[in-house]
Each structure stands twice: as C-alpha cells, then as structure tokens.
Amino acid sequence: MDLVPDIFFEKQEGNLCAQHALNALLQGNYFTAVDLAAIGQKLDDQENAMMANQGISGQQASNFDDSGYFSVQVIQDALSVWNLQLISWTSVEARQAREQPQNEVAYICNLAEHWFTLRKFAVPWRWYNLNSTQNAPTYLSETYLAMLLQQIQSENYSVFVVRGTLPEAPVDGLAAVLPDPKTIPKPSHQTEVLFSGRGYSLAEVETLEDDDDDEEIQLAKAIEASLQKPKDDIDEMRRKRLERFGG
C-alpha cells in the first residue's frame, strides 16, 4: 500500500507553481494566487517605502507580477504563519541537511520561476516529490533524495530547507504505520518515475535492483540520462501563464 492516493497534490495550472508548492508542503488548500498576490503587494509596499525613506529613486520592488511569478520572500512570508523558515541549502545553517537530508521535513526548490516541493511524511524513508508538473506524487528513496538534491543544486536550482513543525496532516499518521517501501517486493514489470534535473520533464526507467551499490549506479545513470532532455518547456509554460493572467 502506498501513500499517493492520500497525498494532497495539485497538478500544474497556468504557472501557479508557487501556490502548488505551498499547498503540497502544507497538505491542504491553504493558499490561492489571490492570497499570494496580496502578500506580494504588502512586501512591495514595504520595500518601496523603505527605499523612498533612504532616498533611493528609480527602483521598484517586484515580489510578484501579473504572470503568476512570486518571489521567495512571498513564500517565506506565507509560511511564517506556522513559524516555518526557509534556509538556503548552501548556508552554514543547512550543513546538517547536506549531510543527512532525509532527517529534514521538506525542501522547496526553484529554477526559472518554477517552484516545487520535496516532502517527508512522518518517517525518514517516506519522501515524495510533489512537483506539480508530474501526473502524481512520486516516491523517493533516501538514497535518491540525497542524489537528487545534490544534482539539482549543481544544475543551478535554488534549494531551501524547510525548518519548523508542519501542520498535522492525516497522511502523516498513515505514513507512520505503513511498512518501509524498500521492504516490499516489486513486480518485475514495475517501473519507477524519476525526476528530470532540468526541471520540466520526467523520465521513466526500469525498476532499480535491490543491491545498494547497483541502485546508486543506476540512479546516477538515470539522472545523467534525464539531463540530456532539452529544457524547452519553460517558454511554453511562460506563454500559457501570460495567456491566463495577461501582461
């Protein structure tokens, strides 16, 4: 039995990926684009007032726009209601996350205005990729989580560690009582969907072997292969976003 049917998941709509990433993290319909735009406007007003007081002219704050873009400051402000913080992957404070990534609660990642969430459900072996460009959440083993984070960071993603206590979600309780997926035999025909490091396409590879060394080798090959796919969907997503919101 897997968690996927019970995980709150929003598929990509327009370019509302910031909304999707936040709701996936919090496991509920907590934010709309209107809510995030209100936060963005508040931050813009505060920053513009500060620049005016400092005598800075010719610059305007831009924490959001009509196309659906939202800055990391908007996301951090939205999460502050739950006392959640975003810590940069490259910071001193994130050293433990770099060494033992499975022990954190979640990560929010960004590239080319696309946001997505990697989230743990209750136990270190229950990580899922909640990228809204996928058809559904995909399971991440502890090994693949570490490799994925290293790879996407090397591909110029901004990775943020989520620190704090997430709102309690029913699916977390379910995750705590289910067996570790690695202990469940897989049918020989089953495939596992892997995330493409380029951000907007998915690659499907054959089921990984049980042996840990073989698993790491095959995962490395899968990531390398996925990186060969062109990242030409970004312009298409931006075009659809502009059609939806104007601008």
As annotated, the active-site residues are 17, 114, 131
For the chain, the farthest-separated pair of C-alpha atoms sits apart, in whole angstroms, at: 67
**Cβ-count burial 111-122 (b if 16+ within 10 Å, e if not):** bebbbbbbbbbb
Pairing of strands 114-120, 106-111: antiparallel
Q: Taking CA 137 as the corner, what is the angle to CA 134 and CA 139, rounded to the nearest 5 degrees?
A: 120
Q: What CA–CA distance (Å, rounded) separates 194 from 136?
A: 12
Percent helix, strand, coil in the chain, to 5, is 45, 15, 40
Report whether 75 contacts 18 (CB < 8 A). yes
Q: Which of 56, 53, 107 is nearest to 84 (CA)?
A: 107
Treating both helix axes as pointing N-terminal to C-terminal, what angle do 33-53 and 17-26 enclose, rounded to 10 degrees?
A: 110
Phi, then psi, of 89 in degrees rounded to 5: -55, -30
Residue 48 CB-density burial (10 A; 0-12 exposed, 13-18 middle, 19+ buried):
middle
